[in-house]
Amino acid sequence: MAEQEHEREQAPGHASGRRVFVDKRSPAAYQAFVQAAEAVRTTAADAGLDRRLVELINVRVSQLNGCAFCLSLHTRAALRAGETPQRLGVLPAWRDTELFSPRERAALALAEATTDPRDTTAQETAYAVARRALTEDEISAVIWVAIAINAFNRVSILSKHPVRATGQHQ
Q: How many CA atoms lie within 13 A of 167 on its CB side?
A: 3
The pTM of the full predicted model, rounded to 2 decimals, is 0.87
Of 20, 161, 84, 66, nearest to 75 by C-alpha is 84
pLDDT in tens, 93-137: 999 999 999 999 999 999 999 999 999 999 999 999 999 999 999
Dihedral of alpha carbons 146, 148, 149, 151, sign: positive
Work out the angle between the directed axes of helices 27-47 and 51-65 (0-180°, nearest 10). Answer: 130
Rounded to an integer, the average pLDDT of 26-42 is: 97
Cα–Cα distance between 161 and 140 in angstroms, integer? 29
Q: Which helix (H) or strand (E) holds 150?
A: helix 136-159
